[in-house]
Homo-oligomer: A and B are copies of this chain.
Amino acid sequence: MTDVKLRKDAARNRARLLEAGREVFAQRGLDATLNDVAHHAGVGVGTAYRRFANKEDLIDAIRYEQDNELEAILNESLAMGDPWDALVLYLEKSIALHVKDRGMAELLTGRRVRPEVQDQSRNRLAPLVNRVAERARDAGVIRADATGTDLIFLQIACISISTVVQDGPEIEERSDSGDLYRRYLWVMLDGLTPQRADTTPLPVQALTTEQLHALLSAPINADNSHARRST
């Protein structure tokens, strides 16, 4: 991962920048400046640009760390005996992570990254997510047509709700509303339950893992937040 060998101070500053990057991006989103990160790290802008050629590089490095955390959650989930509890643990923990980290959320929700990074990330995590879904399905605790991609979209939904809530002001007499997304997480979990599956089949098929991947792998877009093809 790290290049060859760095001088002691250089290595220290690199670490500081990574740390600062995580904090700044978590709080202000990926639109934060590399200059911002440098300041937050107590380091000159020049130094920042020598350690990471551009913001994208820093983001890639951070993403690698984040993927480790997600993988840990998935492994913890898969180690559990009860498939339902495993499913719940994964969703709750993964979503909580994204909700606390705006940058991470943007990475999941559409922000384009270098395709190789996207691919690597996916190859590592997707199979685990699929297995979580599979176990729950085989155990009959979720409807038979539920898939791993459903879990992803379910997360996206919850995170989006949380974003809307967080962008607003603190609500009077109820500042704990950062939890609100959990209400809808549980509505959806109830909806995944097999009970009603026979009476109301879902109107649209789930995406396959490949389709989801294709969806999230559009050509990298220098422009950040909300790209859109023009007419």
> Which residues from B are CB-within-8-Å of A60?
none
Residue A116 interfacial (CB < 8 Å) = no
The answer to whether the Cβ of A48 comes within 8 Å of any Cβ in the partner chain is no
Contact indicator A167/B225 (Cβ below 8 Å): no
Question: Is B156 touching A164 in the complex (CB atoms < 8 A)?
Answer: yes
Verify A110–B196 contact, CB threshold 8 A.
no
Q: Is A209 an interface residue (CB 8 A)?
A: no
Q: Is the CB of A168 within 8 A of B216?
A: yes
Q: Which of A7-15, A23-31, A51-59, A66-74 contacts B (4 or more CB under 8 A)?
A: A23-31
**A218 within 8 Å of B by Cβ?**
yes
At the interface with chain B, which of A120-128, A133-141, A186-194? Answer: A186-194
| A165 interface residue per 8 A CB criterion | yes
Whether the pair A192, B187 counts as a contact (CB closer than 8 A) is yes
- The docked-state distance in angstroms from the alpha carbon of A225 to that of B31 is 11
Main secondary structure of the interface of A (DSSP, over half): helix
CB A93 to nearest CB in B, in angstroms, measures 15
Complex alpha-carbon distance, A193 and B192, angstroms: 12
A196 closest partner in B (C-beta): B190
A219 to chain B, nearest CB (A): 8
Q: Could you say which of A156, A202, A204, A211 has the most chain B C-beta atoms within 10 Å of its C-beta?
A: A204
| A215/B168 in contact, CB under 8 A | yes
Is A2 engaged at the interface, CB distance under 8 Å to the other chain?
A: no
A182-B156 in contact (CB<8A)? no
- Which A-B residue pairs are the 3 nearest by beta carbons? A191-B191, A160-B160, A187-B191
Can you spell out 7 A-B residue pairs with CB atoms less than 8 angstroms apart? A157-B157, A160-B160, A171-B215, A184-B188, A187-B192, A187-B202, A190-B191
Name A's B-contacting residues (CB within 8 A): 27-29, 31, 102, 109-110, 150, 153-154, 156-158, 160-161, 163-165, 167-169, 171-172, 174, 177, 179-180, 182-184, 186-193, 195-196, 200, 202-207, 211, 214-218, 225-228, 230-231
